[in-house]
Amino acid sequence: MSFQWGIVGTGVIANEMAAALHASGREIYGVTSGREEQAQAFAEKYNVEQVFATFEELVADDTVDIVYIATPHNLHAQMIRQALLADKHVFCEKAITVNDRQLEECVALAKERNLVLSDGVTLFHMPLYKELRRIVASGKLGAVKMVQVNFGSCKEYDVNNRFFSKELAGGALLDIGVYAASFTRFFMTAKPNVVLTTANYFETGVDETSGILLKNEVGEMAVIALTMRAKQPKRGVIACEKGFIEISNYPRAEKATITYTESGQVETITSGETDKALQYEIQDMEEYITNQSGEENLTMIRDVMGTLTSIRSQWGLVYPFE
């Protein structure tokens, strides 16, 4: 079965998704954007069949099967709800919503209408992570004890940019922190039930740097370090009783190393291709629809958003529209 995709937004990640859809042999049925001239240019570039003047017109079209949302975070929840009410499956860029209340409302609506809801956290869809989960589950490394993960970007400081805008749900946590929180949740056997954290803030009120400590009911722990005005390596480590896994550039990784504690032996694990990260997202999304699956992925997404919401609650960071 082939699916007709409708794209909402024409920014950098929307262009990446359009290119991935073409590379996967899919056609893009429709696009819409806040600026019609940008939507027209996007349509010409990617041979999109329909340009819609509004989001409402796109989701109302019966030909559209899957709505891909690539707009600022503050618009996600409203757009997801509208698409679901129009009986469309939804693949939304991260962060899927800005808090767990919004997400749970969307999840309930998707379940009620028997629709698939997923998000653009690439690592959930990368073949490498599926292989690493199999290795950890096999017990050959023993129990997971600690997960450590960093993500630091150095955004040019511009108070008018969405990354620094409180009105647009800016800040490090929802932009890059969602990757780090997703990494930790992927390797923990249960969601965190203890969250300790502190942060520094920009003059706009959004988070700039933060340290986060997580623990779950079985005692597995995670440490996260985020920075938005200082580069860090995108590095994750999963420390187990009999060895540790190390992954560099982890959001779209194709390679990891396992160092065995007793022997010091280093094993390299490779699976998938970094350049095909969004193609794996497309493949998984369509399989979720075809096989009526995806519940495990959605559970991960919900757990991550619960953690992000708890973190912001401790900081006392509330966006104006919440």
Give catalytic residue positions: 94
SS3 content of the chain, % helix, strand, coil (to 5): 40, 25, 30
**Whole-angstrom distance between the N-terminal and C-terminal Cα of the chain?**
39
Burial of 7 (0-12, 13-18, 19+ CB in 10 A): buried
Q: H helices within the chain, ranges in order?
A: 12-23, 36-46, 55-60, 73-85, 100-112, 127-138, 172, 178-187, 277-291, 295-315
Burial of 125 (0-12, 13-18, 19+ CB in 10 A): buried
Cβ-Cβ contacts under 8 Å for 24 (sequence gap 6 or more): 279, 282, 283
- DSSP-derived 3-state class of residue 89: strand
Q: How many Å apart are CA 278 and CA 90, to the nearest integer? A: 15
Q: Which of 146, 11, 33 is nearest to 79 (CA)?
A: 33
Tokens of 316: 């006392």
Q: How many Å apart are CA 81 and CA 163, to the nearest integer? A: 24
